[in-house]
Amino acid sequence: MSEPAVQTTDTELRDRILRSIGELLPRVLKRDLPEIPEDACLFDDLGLTSAGTIELILEVEETLDIQVDVEQIGEDDLRSVTRLADYVAGHIIPED
């Protein structure tokens, strides 16, 4: 059996994405949030909706001037703030 491919991401970029998500969530949710734990569940703990998820990803793209491939995003990728940051960091569409 072959080893599964490990996707490496730029940790600095991932940290910027994580910070951006934390900064943008209150705006997307339209309410103040106390410190957001990185393992907070986006839906259960923070009350994010499907539409809010799309808005959050679009805001992250705009803030960081990146484009994210959302075709492969799954429910598991939206379980927590860190999972979303990992997905975004690993699915940036390179500029032409």
- 26 and 33 in contact (C-beta within 8 Å)? yes
CA contacts within 13 A on the Cβ side of 58 = 8
pLDDT at 58: 97
pLDDT at 9: 55
Band of pLDDT at residue 43, cut at 50, 70 and 90: very high
Q: What is the pLDDT of residues 15-36, one digit of tens each?
A: 999 999 999 999 999 999 888 8
Q: Residue range 70-96: average pLDDT?
A: 93
DSSP per-residue codes, the chain? -PPPPPPP--HHHHHHHHHHHHHHHHHHHTS------TT--TTTTT---HHHHHHHHHHHHHHHT--B--TT--GGGGSSHHHHHHHHHH-BPPP-
Model pTM?
0.85
Give the domains, in start order, of the chain with CATH numbers: 11-90 (1.10.1200.10)
